C-alpha cells in the first residue's frame, strides 16, 4: 500500500475537526447533565459512556474501507453518530444561548458594580438545562423509532393524474413505482419480504423501478434474489433504470476492469428478477388500438454522472405520442425535460429519499432539509401540463432509518381529463 501524504493530511484534518466539534458539544452536554442531576453516579456513568462512544466512533470511522463502501455495519455506526450528536447538538445550542445571556449579564454587573458574587458569570439555570434535555429527547426518540420501525414503515401512496391527451384506452392505467432499494443496506429479510408482499397486493398494469438497486456492489443482491424475484409481473411488464449508485463510483476499485465487471454484474441482476432494464432506450406499451412510449435513460444529475442519452432513447418515438420518462435524478427534469420541446408528459424519479427525515402532514406541512438542495424532492409536481413524480424510496442509505419520510410504494393512475 503506497503512502500518500496529502490523503493522510486530509484524514488528519478531518479527524481533528471532528474531535474539536465533539469536544465542544460534549462539554456543553456535560454541563447540562451536571446542572440537572446531583447524583454523582449518573454524572460518572454519562461521562464514561460519552468517552467510550467517541472512542468507538473514531475507531470505526478510521477503519472504513474505501474498497468496500457502505454496508449494514457502517450504517449502524452512522446511526449511532446521529443518535448521540443530534440531541447533544441541540443541547449545545441551548447552552450556547444561555452563555450569551450570562456574558451580557456578567458585563452589566461588572460595569454597574452590582455583582452578588465574585464570579464574573452568573451560575447556570437548572431550568435551562432541563429544558435542553427535554427538547433533545425529541430527536433522540425520533431517530430511535426511525432505526427500529420507521425504515420498514412502508406506505402505499395512490396518486391520480389527469391529462388532456392521454389515449382513451389508457384511461385508468396504473403504474406502480418503487425506487432506491439500496440492497446493501438491508439486514432484516422478514421486514423486506413484508414490503414486497405489500407490492404484490396492489393492482397495477406496469411496474417501474427508478434506480439505485445497490449501494455499490453487485454481490449485495445475492441474498435478496429470493425476495425481489417474487415481485409479480405487471400486466404490461416490469421496467427499470439505473441510478447513480449503480455505477460503482463511490469506492476505490483495484482496477478499471474490476469496476466494469461489477457494473455488468449490476445490469445482469435486472433480468434475473424479471425487470426489463432500459439503457437509453424505450418500449412501446400497446393497449388495444392505443399506445404510449415508456422511455428509460441512464443516470443524469446536476451534481452526478450525466450518462443519459435522451436523443438515443427517443429514436423512433413519435413526437405526438404520450410519453412517460424514467430518470433517476429529479434535477434532470428541472434542467432538461420540463422545457424540452418533445413534450414529456410524465417523468418518474427517485434519488432524494426525502432525505429520510422530515415532516409530512397532507394539506398542512411538507418539509425536509433536502428541499434546500432539490426543488422537487417528494411527490407530484406540475408545470405547464407536464408532471414529475419523485418517489421517496423503498430502502435507505447513510442513516439506517427513516423519520417522517416513510418508505414508499407508489400507485400512479393515469386518467383522461374529460371536458364537459
Q: Name the residue among 387, 388, 390, 382 with its Cα closest to residue 408.
A: 390
Indicate whether this model's pTM tops 0.85.
Answer: yes
If pLDDT is split at 50, 70 and 90, which confidence band does 69 have? Answer: confident
Crossing angle of the two packed helices 5-36 and 126-148, in degrees rounded to 10: 120
Residue written as grid cell 429514436:
315
Query: Stretch 265-274: mean pLDDT, rounded?
Result: 97
Class of domain 154-416: alpha beta
Tens digits of residue pLDDT in 342-399: 999 999 999 999 999 999 998 899 999 999 999 999 999 999 899 999 999 999 999 9
Domain ranges in the chain are 5-148, 154-416
Residue written as grid cell 418518474:
348
pLDDT of residue 257: 95
Query: Stretch 278-301: mean pLDDT, rounded?
Result: 97
Contact of 178 with 213, CB cutoff 8 Å: no
Tens digits of residue pLDDT in 324-335: 999 999 999 999
Write the burial class of residue 2 (CB in 10 Å: 0-12 exposed, 13-18 middle, 19+ buried): exposed
Amino acid at each position: 500500500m503506497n503512502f500518500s501524504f496529502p490523503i493522510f493530511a486530509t484524514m488528519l484534518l478531518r479527524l481533528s475537526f471532528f474531535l474539536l466539534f465533539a469536544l465542544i458539544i460534549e462539554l456543553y452536554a456535560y454541563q447540562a447533565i451536571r446542572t440537572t442531576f446531583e447524583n454523582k453516579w449518573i454524572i460518572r456513568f454519562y461521562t464514561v459512556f460519552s468517552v467510550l462512544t467517541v472512542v468507538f466512533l473514531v475507531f470505526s470511522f478510521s477503519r472504513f474501507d474505501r474498497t468496500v463502501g457502505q454496508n449494514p455495519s457502517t450504517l449502524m455506526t452512522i446511526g449511532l453518530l446521529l443518535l448521540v450528536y443530534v440531541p447533544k447538538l441541540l443541547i449545545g445550542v441551548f447552552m450556547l444561548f444561555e452563555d450569551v445571556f450570562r456574558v451580557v449579564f456578567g458585563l452589566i454587573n461588572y460595569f454597574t458594580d452590582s455583582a452578588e458574587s465574585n464570579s464574573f458569570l452568573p451560575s447556570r439555570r437548572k431550568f435551562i438545562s432541563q429544558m435542553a434535555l427535554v427538547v433533545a429527547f425529541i430527536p433522540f426518540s425520533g431517530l430511535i423509532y426511525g432505526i427500529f420501525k420507521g425504515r420498514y414503515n412502508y406506505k402505499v401512496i395512490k396518486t391520480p393524474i389527469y391529462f388532456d391527451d392521454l389515449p382513451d384506452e389508457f384511461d385508468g392505467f396504473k403504474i406502480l413505482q418503487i425506487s432506491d432499494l439500496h440492497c446493501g443496506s438491508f439486514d432484516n429479510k422478514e421486514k423486506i419480504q413484508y414490503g414486497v408482499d405489500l407490492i404484490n397486493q396492489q393492482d397495477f398494469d406496469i411496474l417501474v423501478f427508478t434506480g439505485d438497486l445497490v449501494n455499490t456492489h453487485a454481490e449485495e443482491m445475492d441474498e435478496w434474489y429470493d425476495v425481489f424475484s417474487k415481485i409479480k409481473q405487471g400486466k404490461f411488464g416490469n421496467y427499470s433504470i439505473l441510478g447513480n449508485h449503480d455505477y460503482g463510483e463511490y469506492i476505490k476499485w483495484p482496477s478499471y476492469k474490476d469496476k466494469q465487471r461489477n457494473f455488468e454484474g449490476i445490469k445482469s441482476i435486472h433480468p434475473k428478477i424479471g425487470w426489463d432494464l432500459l439503457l437509453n432506450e424505450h418500449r412501446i406499451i400497446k393497449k388495444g388500438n392505443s399506445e404510449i412510449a415508456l422511455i428509460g435513460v441512464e443516470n443524469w444529475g446536476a451534481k452526478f454522472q450525466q450518462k443519459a442519452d435522451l436523443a438515443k432513447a427517443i429514436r423512433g418515438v413519435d413526437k405526438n405520442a404520450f410519453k412517460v420518462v424514467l430518470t433517476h435524478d429529479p434535477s434532470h427534469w428541472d434542467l432538461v425535460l420540463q422545457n424540452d420541446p418533445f413534450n414529456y408528459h410524465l417523468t418518474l424519479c427517485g434519488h432524494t429519499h426525502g432525505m429520510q427525515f422530515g415532516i409530512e402532514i397532507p394539506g398542512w406541512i411538507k418539509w425536509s432539509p433536502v428541499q434546500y438542495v432539490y426543488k422537487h424532492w417528494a411527490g407530484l409536481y406540475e408545470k405547464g401540463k407536464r408532471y414529475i413524480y419523485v418517489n421517496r424510496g423503498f430502502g435507505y442509505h447513510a442513516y439506517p432509518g427513516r423519520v417522517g419520510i416513510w418508505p414508499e410504494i407508489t400507485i400512479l393512475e393515469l386518467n383522461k381529463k374529460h371536458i364537459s
